[in-house]
Copies of this chain bind each other. A is one copy, B any other.
Amino acid sequence: MEAMGRAAREAAHALRNSSAETRTAAIAAMARQIRAHAPEILAANALDLAGATGLVDRLRLDTGRIEAMARSIDEVALLPDPVGAEMDRWTRPNGLEIARVRTPIGVIGMIYESRPNVTADAAAICVRSGNAVILRSGSEALNSSTAIHEAVAAGLEEAGLPHDTVQLVPVEDREAVGLLLEGLSGTIDLIIPRGGKSLVERVGREARVATLGHLEGVCHTYVHSSADPDMAVSIVRNAKLRRVTICGATETLLIDRAAAPELLPQIARALDGCELRGDAESRLYAPMKAAQESDWTTEYLAPVLAVRTVAGLDSAIAHIERYGTGHTEAIIAADPLVAEDFLARVDSAIVIWNASTQFADGGEFGFGAEIGIATGKLHARGPVGPEQLTSFHYVVRGSGQIRP
């Protein structure tokens, strides 16, 4: 593992001095190699599936999914290269010209669970942003990830970038996670954990380097009394049910006391097939199970919705502040003053007015690709794409100035 860290640092140095064209060529070659390696990747995936228990759908690859993986890498190849981009430039009264210029971060450690496509996405996004990466795939997807990593490495080699730009931890033991979290003797600049509660807690306990956590999304949709009823029904249905397993899916519905009698029955009908768990007041208006305290803090990732009737905006915000995870919250309201108050006061990575929480996604934001939604407040927040994986420095151009 220590050797992987040193190799990554050397690769990061080479990558920092490579051209945007070379990085683009490498990413495009990675996509081609993934298509070419499809038979090996499918064979490896079959091994993983044979040993799998639960969450098999997230693990399964087929030719369609491999093509989708390659296409998403093709898209990263087309994204503008962020490295060297000028973010800002100004001139001081003494004539000094100061520019803020994007730079790579260096070496990123990525710890993730069962989706094998993360191996390909993370590799492409890290190369696009000029960073070397050490990937630690979940053991349940290790055969698939290894086969995908071989394709990625072949692509890097084709473009003349160091093989060690993208490394995959080969062992299955949990030891590797601990070593990554300690930073491999200072060689890792940033850890990106993607996973469930146990990984999150472990990161909080053990990480000695900066982390960009993609944590739980207990997302809320709040229906204000001024909401257009049809819009509210349509958005709540989409926010909960379009895809229940993504982090931007709504897990708790908050609804104003004034709107509940009319709207809750309509929403319940529209959420056909979804289990509702409501507080006592909500259960007056539609059939639902009784919600427990734990329902307010659960990321179901399933067709289950917690429902609570609230007195108004302040109660809704208080609920979100108490139980939310700072991911994404939406308000459905026709009253713009109420909506703007919600947007200003709710401190989540993404706050939405009159749209579905399922828009919480780098692609939907126009970032082209993402490797997660950061729920912390430092460095990057919200969808993490290539730009969010850069640092910056100041370039000062003078003509002999000395400081008085």
Contacts of A352 in B (CB 8 A): 396-398
Task: Return the contact of A358 from the options B106, B353, B391, B403 (Cβ within 8 A).
Answer: B403
Contacts of A16 in B (CB 8 A): 347
Q: Interface 1/0s, chain A 198-222, versus B by CB < 8 A?
A: 0000001001101000000000000
Contacts of A376 in B (CB 8 A): 210
CB distance from A373 to the nearest CB of B (A): 10
**Complex copy number for this chain:** 2
User: Does residue A252 face the partner (Cβ distance < 8 Å to B)?
Assistant: no
Contacts of A366 in B (CB 8 A): 90, 92, 98
For the complex of A and B, 5 pairs with smallest distance between CB atoms? A355-B398, A238-B402, A377-B391, A355-B401, A358-B403
Give complex CA distance A399, B345 in Å: 20
Q: Interface 1/0s, chain A 352-372, versus B by CB < 8 A?
A: 111110110100111000000
**Contacting chain B: which of A40-48, A50-58, A228-236, A290-298?**
A228-236
- Bin chain A's interface residue count: 35 or more
Chain B residue, CB-CB nearest to A189: B377
Chain B residue, CB-CB nearest to A391: B377
A16, A392, A396, most chain B CB atoms within 10 A: A396
**Contacting chain B: which of A151-159, A161-169, A255-263, A378-386?**
A378-386
Give complex CA distance A347, B17 in Å: 11
Q: Tell whether, in the assembled complex, residue B393 and residue A382 are in contact, meaning their CB atoms are under 8 Å apart.
A: yes
**Which A residues, 308 to 358, have Cβ-Cβ distances below 8 Å to chain B?**
343-345, 347-356, 358
Contacts of A64 in B (CB 8 A): none
User: Does residue A190 face the partner (Cβ distance < 8 Å to B)?
Assistant: yes
**Which A residues, 79 to 102, have Cβ-Cβ distances below 8 Å to chain B?**
84, 90, 92, 96, 98
Contacts of A343 in B (CB 8 A): 395, 397
Given A16-B347, A105-B377, A398-B353 contact (CB < 8 Å): yes
CB distance from A190 to the nearest CB of B (A): 6
Chain B residue, CB-CB nearest to A190: B378
Give complex CA distance A393, B392 in Å: 20
Q: Tell whether, in the assembled complex, residue A393 and residue B347 are in contact, meaning their CB atoms are under 8 Å apart.
A: yes
Q: Tell whether, in the assembled complex, residue B349 and residue A394 are in contact, meaning their CB atoms are under 8 Å apart.
A: yes
Contacts of A399 in B (CB 8 A): 354-355
Q: Tell whether, in the assembled complex, residue A402 and residue B242 are in contact, meaning their CB atoms are under 8 Å apart.
A: yes
Task: Return the contact of A400 from the options B190, B207, B235, B364 (Cβ within 8 A).
Answer: B235
Q: Interface 1/0s, chain A 90-134, versus B by CB < 8 A?
A: 101000101000010110000000000000000000000000000
CB distance from A133 to the nearest CB of B (A): 15
Chain B residue, CB-CB nearest to A95: B355
Q: Tell whether, in the assembled complex, residue B354 and residue A397 are in contact, meaning their CB atoms are under 8 Å apart.
A: yes
Contacts of A392 in B (CB 8 A): 381
CB distance from A355 to the nearest CB of B (A): 3
CB distance from A113 to the nearest CB of B (A): 23
Q: Tell whether, in the assembled complex, residue A395 and residue B359 are in contact, meaning their CB atoms are under 8 Å apart.
A: no
Give complex CA distance A341, B395 in Å: 12
Contacts of A238 in B (CB 8 A): 402-403
Give complex CA distance A377, B204 in Å: 20
Given A96-B359, A402-B238, A394-B365 contact (CB < 8 Å): yes
A17, A106, A391, most chain B CB atoms within 10 A: A391
Q: Tell whether, in the assembled complex, residue A382 and residue B402 are in contact, meaning their CB atoms are under 8 Å apart.
A: no
Contacts of A395 in B (CB 8 A): 343, 351, 353
Give complex CA distance A20, B160 in Å: 53
Task: Return the contact of A351 from the options B228, B239, B394 (Cβ within 8 A).
Answer: B394
18 residue pairs from A and B, CB less than 8 Å apart? A16-B347, A84-B344, A90-B366, A98-B366, A207-B208, A234-B402, A235-B400, A238-B402, A239-B402, A347-B393, A350-B393, A353-B397, A354-B397, A355-B397, A355-B400, A359-B398, A361-B403, A381-B394
Contacts of A84 in B (CB 8 A): 344
Q: Tell whether, in the assembled complex, residue A354 and residue B403 are in contact, meaning their CB atoms are under 8 Å apart.
A: no
